[in-house]
Amino acid sequence: ELKAIVNAPITDGALADGTRVPLLANLGSPKDAAAAVELGAEGVGLFRTEFLFLDSTTAPTIEQQQADYTAVLQAFPGKKVVVRCLDAGADKPLSFLNDAEEENPALGLRGLRALRANEQILRDQLTALARAQEDSNAELWVMAPMVSDVEETEYFVAIARELGVKVAGVMAEIPALALMADQVAAASDFVSIGTNDLTQYTMAADRMLGSVAAYQDAWHPAVLRLVKMLGDAGRANNTPVGVCGEAAADPLLAVVLVGLGATSLSMTPAALADVRAELLLHTREEAAALAEAALGSRTAMDARDAARAVVSARS
Ligand code: PEP
Ligand code: MG
């Protein structure tokens, strides 16, 4: 019987009532693709491209980048692959892009800000992605990290389209962007919520600093309210709103995120099985009830407890 379970086909992500919630993988290098496929990833929700640029004194050429993007796209035929443009900042400075002298790197010239200040690097990356898109039948989506508002959203979407990218979106990691969710969802093909940075900036607590690690908890209702604003705006505009931060790997929080309007979840591939199993225990209505209980709480701990209480009251 155990063998039957082990060999059971991995089902696509869905709630108990059949509502589909695609479960995608976060990848940090093309080498991670095979394991993600093995663990049932239905595509890639976040392909971090920093690996291509680190340990280098010059930006990689278009051809070098294209080869790596093609490798990932070809590992997911017919599937969605979301690639994030370079997210460099003074915390992980690149000699050709960043000034390493910033006092507050998390608040500095990073993500799309750094790319815009070095537009040729952005143009080359988008060109490499657009070319890679032609060499596979995966569905390429491209997004910008650390986007502050709708003007930056429009800037990125326009330049991505100009260079041949078909689907262009933004990460929601800065509270300002979430607060402008209605405008952003109308201007973008999709939104992907990066809960790691969104939590860091909402709570004003450095995610790298152990002494404030307790603040780095996406269960905090302040973070969940921002997620809800994004989810609502996505629904109103017919714009997909996924989550690709670590919060999506917490099974019960994953259900809450769906209740708040997340249309897909992307996570470290090792978390896929547990999240898949938890989603199957809850209907859309239950997910909404969990979300409401968490949203109405006072602290991260209270929100977690409130969601658990809704679950136990039912069983
Ligand atoms: C995030 O901020 O949630 C995210 C997914 O991006 P990263 O962890 O690479 O900053
Ligand atoms: Mg981030």
The type of residue at 104 is N
Residues in the chain: 315
Q: Rounded to two decimals, what is the model's pTM?
A: 0.96
Which residues neighbour ligand 2 (ion) by CB within 5 Å? 173, 194, 197
> Could you identify the atom of ligand 1 that is nearest to the CA of residue 192?
5
Burial of 91 (0-12, 13-18, 19+ CB in 10 A): middle
Q: Is 207 annotated as a binding residue?
A: yes
195 lines ligand 1 (CB under 6 A): yes
Nearest CA to ligand 1 atom 9: 48
**Cα of 46 from ligand 1 centre, angstroms:** 9
Catalytic residue check, 85: no
Catalytically annotated residue among 244, 254, 287, 306: 244
Please tell me what DSSP assigns to residue 309: H
Where residue 206 falls (left for φ over 0; alpha for ψ -120 to 50; beta otherwise) is: beta
**Cα of 87 from ligand 1 centre, angstroms:** 9
- Greatest Cα pair distance, the chain, in angstroms, is 60
> Could you identify the atom of ligand 1 that is nearest to the CA of residue 245?
3
- Token pair 């910008």 is found at 144
- Report in angstroms the alpha-carbon separations of 252 from 25, 41, 134, 160, 292: 18, 19, 38, 35, 13
Residue-level pLDDT at 3: 55
Residue 242 pairs in a beta bridge with 192, 264
The type of residue at 308 is R
Q: What is the ipTM of this complex?
A: 0.99
Mutate to test the pocket of ligand 1, among 26, 170, 196, 216 (most ligand atoms within 8 A of CB): 196
Distance of CA 247 to the CA centre of its chain: 10
Are 256 and 295 in contact by the 8 Å Cβ rule? The answer is: no
Q: Is 197 annotated as a binding residue?
A: yes
Q: Is 48 annotated as a binding residue?
A: yes
Along the 315 residues of the chain, how does pLDDT read in single tens digits? 455 556 667 889 999 999 999 999 999 999 999 999 999 999 999 999 999 998 788 899 999 999 999 999 999 999 999 999 999 877 777 878 877 788 898 999 999 999 999 999 999 999 999 999 998 999 999 999 999 999 999 999 999 999 999 999 999 999 999 999 999 999 999 999 999 999 999 999 999 999 999 999 999 999 999 999 999 999 999 999 999 999 999 999 999 999 999 999 999 999 999 999 999 999 999 999 999 999 999 999 999 999 999 999 987
Measured distance CA(224)–CA(304) in Å, rounded: 12
